[in-house]
Structure formats: C-alpha cells, structure tokens
C-alpha cells in the first residue's frame, strides 16, 4: 500500500458534524486567571493525537456515541475546557472565561486506511488530519474515522492551559470515566492557579534572566533557513534498547534512569555530527515540576493532579572533545547533574517572579534561537496517558503536535510511553538531517522509524 505524506491529495478529511458539548453540571460563571507559569510557553494551539486500530466489537458510530454521551461528564471535572480563552483588554494577558460555552466535538472521515499514513513523519502527516478550530476554543475534540475502521482522536487545546502532563491527565481521566462511570478521588483535577504567586518584590537570579530572550524577528533566523534546517521523524525505541542503554550508562552502583541514558546517547550522537564544525554543543531538558516541588506540603499536595503548566528549562553545554572522549556513564552523569542540580522549589518561585516583571512581552528560551553552539532539547514522558482505553481498546500511537510558527532553530525530541505499556517509547523528533541520518544508521539502531507494520496496522 502506498504511503501518504503531508500534502498528498489522497489524505483529506471531510467534516461530518461539528457541535458544542457543555458540562452537564451547573457551573457558576467565573474568570480563571492563568498563572505566571502558564505564560512561560508561547500561547500556541497544540494537540495530542491518539491513534486507534479498528475496534474488535464496535463500529465508528459507537465511538462517536461514546463521546457525545461522555464528554458532558468529563467537562464537569475539567470545566475550564468548556470555556473560552479571552485576552484581557487592560493587561493584554490571556484568561479563561468559564461560562460553560461548550467544548467542540468534531466528527470527520478520511478516505484512506491508517496503514497508508507516513508513520516516519507523523507530525507533518497529522497536520492534514487536524481540523482548524477557533483561537478562543479551550478544547476541540476531533474524532476522525479511516477506511480501515480505525480512528484518531485529537485532543486539541492551547498551551496556555496545559503542559504535556496536564494533557495526559485529561486523556487518562476520559478513559477512566468512560470505563468506570466516575473519577476516583485521586484522579480529580486541580485547576487552582493561585498556588503560584510572585513574591513582593519579585526576586530572581541573573542566570535566569539570561536564559530568556525576547521573541523579536530581528533576533531570529529567516523563515526559509528555519524551514529547511530540520526534518521531522517519528521513531520507536524498544524496551530492550532502553534497558541496554541504562546498563551501559550506569556505573559504581548508580543506575542511570531512562531519560539520563537516552539523553546521554543523544548528546554523544550530536557531538559526533558536530565534529570539528563547533567547539561545543548543548543538551536541554524540559523538567516537570510536579514531582520536584517538595518543600511546601500544601504545594506538593496541589501538584498531584494539577492542570496547568509546571515546567522549567535546564541546559548544559560541553565541549565536543569531552563528549566524544567520555564513556556513556560519564555523559549520563553530566545529564544527571544538569537535571538534578537545581533547587526546584526556588527555581519555580524565581520563574514566577521573573514572569511577573516580563509578562507584557513574549520571550523564548535562549538556546532555542539557534545562536551559539548547536542544541537539542529533550521533553520526556509528559504526553503519556497511563490509560488510553475508553472502551474500544488501547491506542497504538500517541503523537503530540503543535502549531508553533516561531522561527526556532534548536533540535527537539519529545518521548512518549508506548500505550501498549511494554516498556518501549515513541520519540517525535525535529532535528537536523545529519543527526537524523546518524540516529537511523548507528548500530544497533536505537531510534527506529515507526511503520504501520510495527503498529500492527497491516
């Protein structure tokens, strides 16, 4: 069966229906102010695509009926997603008007089989499946059937409302609610943004201030350079390869984590690609603060099911000769130190304070601009719902996508846990062609392109 790539006219989604679904409970109209941490990421639309094979005992009409029946109950718990994202005219900042205007439910159909999609570049392919939705829409759930009987579900929102972990919480709660009829107390979300307040006066280090640069076209590469520098790939990493990397990256009784081992492997691969072209290269990590904010018991409890943004960026630069000459356990130790060194309670408070003084202008993490030594940023595991089975079987693939249009020039690798729960990962990568070629040719090929065969769709 011929592959379909983004831009191929064979892949076209016809909208069957589009409607608003409101929470079934009565929600008192109110305005939800976003936190300063919600203003750190750029305000862009983003989706988590969840791809399902043909259900063994149901048809697509039953899938649509499940969403029509279940979304009102889900919105009772995730009520901001039934609201609208509005810009405050006095401050110019986004806020959420929670008036139960309704989330969007879109049903579509594609005239091709899931097996015919270009799984090596799913982010680009799924942009053909993604249907446009309003900039003010807090949630658009887009369910699209394919000719084979399989379907995709795009949970589409805006980054100002959620980070990857919060999106995973939403999708996992949907599965739990549909199979059990209720959310357990431990699964109920927390939408209280007031847990992140700036100090008076705000206080932050010079290093944090230098970590951000105003998003100004005069400080960015031109659009053609940005578009032509990178390729998008969707890889899978087998559980056995992750385990092997962990063993190779461990020493002296200190066992490398999955993130540390894979990051060390990527960093050494980047150094080999850079070679003599630059003296150094960088690795960065988006770090989820939910498990790292431990000083205040109330904040620690609030983070358990917090829906919002709680991520910060850390980066480490090393010389190319050092990376090439250091065995994998040594590079993994460098990764471990970079991620664990910060005092995250103070770091997040500093970040809240910094945003308080810079919230009227758009900023971006300085390494993302592509100036200085080459950098690859890793975001690990956040967009990985623990449960994707809402009554029609497990998903076979999760693909986060973003509508980001800023001309950023750093590599990016986002890993998600395989919904089969077999210990393997998917990795959605936006990297330089030479790095992609190196990853795909390096024996024993840790990063393997995703195929329909691997997903069991043939």
pLDDT of residue 189: 96
Distance CA 388, CA 87 (A): 33
Residue range 302-346, pLDDT digits in tens: 998 999 999 999 999 999 999 999 999 999 999 999 999 999 999
Measured in degrees and rounded to the nearest 5, phi and psi for residue 305 equal: -130, 45
Q: Given this model, what pLDDT does residue 5 score? A: 38
For residue 406, the model assigns a pLDDT of 62
CA 330 remoteness from chain centre: 28
Residue in the structure block whose two tokens are 């989820």: 288
pLDDT by residue (tens digit) across 98-157?
Answer: 999 999 999 999 999 999 999 887 777 888 899 999 999 999 999 999 999 999 999 999
Say what the pLDDT of residue 1 is.
Answer: 34
| Residue 108, pLDDT score | 98
pLDDT of 405? 61
> Cis before residue 151, ω within 30 degrees of 0?
no
- Do β-strands 45-52 and 84-87 pair in parallel, antiparallel, or remain unpaired? unpaired
Give the other-Cβ count within 10 Å of 117's Cβ.
30
73 pLDDT higher than 70: yes
pLDDT tens string 374-397: 999 999 877 677 789 999 999 999
CA distance 79 to 91: 24
pLDDT tens readout for residues 240-286? 999 999 999 999 999 999 999 999 999 999 999 999 999 999 999 99
Per the DSSP assignment, residues forming a β-bridge with 324 are: none
Residue range 397-408, pLDDT digits in tens:
999 988 776 678
Three-state SS across 351-394?
A: HHHHHHHHCCCCEEEHHHHCCCCCEEEEEECCCCCCCCCCCCCC
pLDDT of residue 374: 96
Q: What 3 state SS string does 11-80 have? A: CCEEEEEEEEECCCCCCCCEEEECCHHHHCCCCCEEEEEEEECCCCCCCHHHHHHHHHHHHHHHHHHCHH
Report the alpha-carbon distance of residue 26 to residue 98 in Å, rounded: 11
pLDDT at 9: 61
pLDDT band for position 70 (cuts 50, 70, 90): very high
pLDDT at 238: 97
Task: Print burial letters for 328-356: b (CB count within 10 Å at least 16), e (below 16).
Answer: bbebbbbbbebbeeeebbebbbbbbbbbb
Distance CA 351, CA 53 (A): 42
Domains, in order of start, for the chain? 14-180 (3.30.559.10), 206-455 (3.30.559.10)
> Are 108 and 141 within 8 A, CB to CB?
no
pLDDT, one tens digit per residue, over 163-204 is 999 999 999 999 999 999 999 888 899 999 999 999 999 999
For the chain, what's the residue count?
Answer: 458
**pLDDT for the residue numbered 7:** 39
Residue 4 pLDDT grade (very low, low, confident, very high; cuts 50, 70, 90): very low
Dist. CA 333–CA 261, nearest whole Å:
9
The model's pLDDT over 12-69, given as tens digits with 9 standing for 90+, comes to 999 999 999 999 999 899 999 999 999 998 889 999 999 999 999 999 999 999 999 9
Residue 28 CA to residue 143 CA, distance in Å, equals 29
Q: Exposure pattern of 424-437 as b/e (b: 16+ CB <10 Å)?
A: bbbbbbbbbeebbe
Cα distance between residue 103 and residue 96, in whole Å? 13
% of the chain beyond a pLDDT of 70: 97
What pLDDT is stored for residue 385 in this prediction? 78
Measured between alpha carbons, how far is 122 from 5 in angstroms, rounded to an integer?
9
């Amino acid at each position: 069966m011929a592959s379909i790539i983004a831009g191929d006219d064979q892949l076209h989604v016809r909208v069957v229906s589009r409607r608003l679904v409101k929470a079934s409970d009565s929600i008192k109209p109110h305005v939800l102010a976003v936190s300063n941490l919600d203003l750190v990421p750029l305000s862009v639309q983003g989706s988590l695509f969840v791809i399902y094979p043909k259900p063994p005992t149901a048809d697509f009409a039953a899938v649509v009926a499940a969403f029509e029946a279940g979304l009102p109950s889900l919105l009772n718990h995730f009520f901001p997603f039934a609201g609208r994202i509005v810009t405050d005219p006095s401050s110019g900042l986004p806020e959420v008007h929670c008036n139960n205007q309704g989330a969007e439910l879109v049903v579509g159909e594609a005239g091709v089989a899931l097996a015919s999609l270009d799984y090596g570049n799913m982010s680009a392919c799924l942009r053909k499946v993604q249907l446009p939705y309003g900039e003010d829409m807090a949630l658009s759930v887009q369910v699209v059937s394919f000719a084979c009987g399989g379907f995709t579900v795009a949970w589409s929102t805006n980054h100002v409302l959620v980070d990857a972990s919060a999106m995973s919480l939403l999708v996992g709660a949907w599965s739990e609610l549909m199979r059990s009829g209720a959310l357990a107390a431990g699964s109920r979300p927390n939408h209280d943004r007031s847990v992140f307040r700036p100090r008076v006066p705000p206080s932050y280090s010079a290093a944090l201030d230098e970590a951000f640069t105003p998003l100004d076209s005069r400080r960015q590469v031109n659009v053609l350079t940005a578009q032509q520098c990178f390729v998008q790939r969707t890889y899978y990493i087998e559980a056995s390869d992750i385990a092997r990397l962990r063993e190779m990256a461990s020493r002296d009784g200190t066992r490398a984590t999955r993130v540390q081992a894979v990051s060390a492997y990527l960093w050494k691969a980047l150094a080999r690609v850079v070679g003599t072209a630059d003296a150094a290269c960088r690795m960065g990590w988006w770090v989820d603060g939910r498990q790292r904010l431990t000083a205040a018991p109330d904040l620690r409890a609030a983070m358990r099911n917090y829906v919002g943004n709680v991520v910060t960026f850390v980066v480490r630069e090393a010389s190319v000769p050092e990376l090439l000459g250091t065995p994998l356990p040594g590079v993994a130790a460098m990764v471990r130190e970079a991620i664990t060194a910060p005092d995250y309670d103070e770091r997040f408070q500093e970040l809240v304070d910094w945003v308080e003084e810079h919230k009227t202008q758009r900023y971006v993490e300085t390494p993302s601009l592509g100036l200085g030594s080459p950098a690859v940023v890793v975001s690990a595991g956040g967009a990985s719902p623990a449960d994707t089975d809402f009554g029609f079987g497990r998903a076979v693939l999760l693909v986060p996508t973003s509508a980001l249009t800023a001309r950023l020039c750093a590599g990016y690798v986002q890993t998600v846990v395989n919904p089969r729960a077999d210990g393997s990962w998917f990795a959605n990568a936006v990297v330089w062609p030479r790095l992609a070629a190196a990853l795909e040719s390096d024996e024993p090929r840790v990063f393997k392109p995703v195929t329909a065969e691997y997903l069991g769709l043939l």
